[in-house]
Amino acid sequence: MSHQTTLEFNNAMYKGSISLNTGLFIDGQWVDPVEPDSIYVINPATGKKVASVSLGSSKDVDLAVKAAQKACKTSWGLKCPGTQRGKLLARLADLMERDADQFTALEALDAGMPFQFAKAANVGSSIQTLRYFAGWSDKIQGKSIETNETKLAYTRREPYGVVGGITPWNVPLGMLCWKVAPALATGNCIVLKPSEMTPLSALKFASLVSEAGFPPGVVNVVNGYGTTVGQAISEHMDIAKVSFTGSTLVGRKILEASAKTNLKVVTLELGGKSPTIVFDDCNLEQTVKWAAMAIFVNMGQSCVAGSRIFVQEGIYPQFMEKFTAMANGLGQATGDPFAPTTQHGPQASKAQYDRIMNYIASGKADGATLHAGGERHGTEGYFIQPTIFTDCKAEMKIVKEEIFGPVAAILKFKTEEEVIEAANATTYGLSACIFSENISRALRVAHAIESGSTFVNSAQLIDPAIPFGGYKASGIGREQGEYALETYTQVKAVHVNIGLEI
C-alpha cells in the first residue's frame, strides 16, 4: 500500500513535522497506482529533492471515476441535501484553518512562495472560498415559469455528476479550492489532478476530506502528468465537465478532447498578458506599489500579472524612478521563502526558470533596454531578480507573449485612445489595471478594455464572491462567485399538464 512521508521544518516561520500520505486518494482511501510509478518533488529554493509522490495513469482515473459515479448515486448529489453539503464544506474550511500553517509550509516548500504571502493570499483565500460556497449549497434554485392556466412549468439546476479538475503549479491550493468548492456545493463529485510539480498541499487537503466526513468517492485526487492523467480526464466518457487552469496551449488540447469524445462542458482559465495603464493624474505613490504588486507578486507567476505597463508620458520619469526603486527593493528582499524578510522567492521549477531567462535574453536581442534586474539571484535554486525592460515595442516577444515571471515591459503613451488600442492589441484578455484619479476616465477605459476583470486603482484583489475568467484566448467560462454555480449545473425544464385535454 501507499506510504507516509514525514517532512521536518525548523525555521523562523514554521517549526514542526508534517506527515503526508503520498499515494493516490480514491474512493476515500489511499492507494498505490495500478502501474507503480513516482516522481520527486523539488524545493525550488535549493533545487533539491524533498519527497517522492505516486504518479497515476489512465487506469487510476478510471477507478476514480467509478468511485465518483457510485458516490453520486448513493451518497452525494441529489441524494444529499444542500444543507448537509454546506455543513461538510464549512467543516473542511475549519480543518484547513486549524492546519493553516502546515498548508502554508507545504506551499512555501514545493511552490517557493514566501511564507507570509502564501498564508495570507493563498491559504487564507482558499479557506474563504470554501466558506463562501458552503453558503451557496442550499441555495441552488430553479424558477417557475408562467405559460398558461393549463400548465405548470419550472426549472431545476442539477449537478453534472462526475467532474474533472486540473490545477496548475503557481497557486496550488487556491486553484484546487476554486474547483472543489463550487463543484461540491452544487452536488457534483470530482476527480482532481494537481500539478505533479506541486502536489503536497493537494495530498494534505485529501486527508482533511476524510476527516471532515465526506462520503467516499466525492473527492478523488490522482496525481500525474498532464499527458497521462490530464489527458485521461479530458477524454473520459463518464466525466461530464472539466475545469482547467493553465496555459492556453493545453486549454486548446482539452477543448479538442471534449469535441472528439463526449462533448463535456469545459471551463478554461488560461494565460494572460495583462496591461497596467498609468495615467498622469494617478496617485503616484499608491500606483507604484500596486503596479509592482501586479507584476512581481508570486515572482510574476500569475495569470493576471500586469506585465505590460503603459505609462503616460507626463508622469513617465517620476514613475520610472519610484518603480525602479521598488523593484530593486524586492531584489534585496529575495531569498529563502521561510525567512521573515523574504518578499520575493524562487521560480517554481528549473523549467520555468529557464523559460524566463530565455525571454530576458530575447528582450535584449530584440533591442529593449534592460533597465533593472535580469540576472540570477544567488548560486542555488531558481531565483531571478525582479526585471524591468524599457524602450519596448509592440512586436517584441516580451511584449506579446506570456512570460509568467518577474519581467515588466514598460511602454510610454500619450492619449487615452492610443493606450486603449495598444492595451487591446493582444490575443489575451484576462485582466487589466487602470490608475487615474479621474473616475470618469478610469471607468471609461475599464469598459473599453477587452478583459474579464479590470481593477481600478488596485491590482489582483481576487474575491470568491466576484466572477473570474477571461476574454479571447484567456479562457471560457467563469470561476468564483454565483456565476461559477452555473458552470457546475445543468438546467432541466419540467412541463406539468394541469388541465389541458386532447
Separation between Cα atoms, residue 437 and residue 279, nearest integer Å: 9
- Catalytic entry in 107, 196, 235, 269: 269
Separation between Cα atoms, residue 443 and residue 441, nearest integer Å: 6
The secondary structure of residue 35, as a DSSP letter, is S
Residue 269 appears among annotated catalytic residues? yes
CB atoms within 10 A of CB 93: 23
- Nearest-5° angle of CA 40, CA 41, CA 46? 115
Locate 220 and state its grid cell.
478523488
Separation between Cα atoms, residue 162 and residue 99, nearest integer Å: 28
End-to-end CA distance of the chain: 65
The 3-class SS string of 40-99 reads: EEEECCCCEEEEEEECCCHHHHHHHHHHHHHHHHHCCHHHCCHHHHHHHHHHHHHHHHHC
Q: Considering only CA atoms, which of 325, 307, 316, 323 is closest in space to residue 408?
A: 307
Task: Identify residue 458 by its one-letter amino acid code.
Answer: S
Locate 91 and state its grid cell.
467543516
Separation between Cα atoms, residue 426 and residue 55, nearest integer Å: 37
Locate 43 and state its grid cell.
524545493
Separation between Cα atoms, residue 75 and residue 312, nearest integer Å: 59
Q: Considering only CA atoms, which of 280, 403, 388, 278 is closest in space to residue 325?
A: 388
The 3-class SS string of 6-20 reads: EEEEECCCCEEEEEE
Task: Identify residue 336 by its one-letter amino acid code.
Answer: D
Q: State the residue for C-alpha cell 491590482.
A: 459
Q: Considering only CA atoms, which of 26, 56, 25 is closest in space to residue 39?
A: 56
Helix (H) or strand (E) holding 165: strand 162-166
The secondary structure of residue 226, as a DSSP letter, is I
Report whether 111 contacts 228 (CB < 8 A).
Answer: no
Task: Identify residue 499 by its one-letter amino acid code.
Answer: G
Give the residue numbers annotated as catalytic, written as ranges: 269
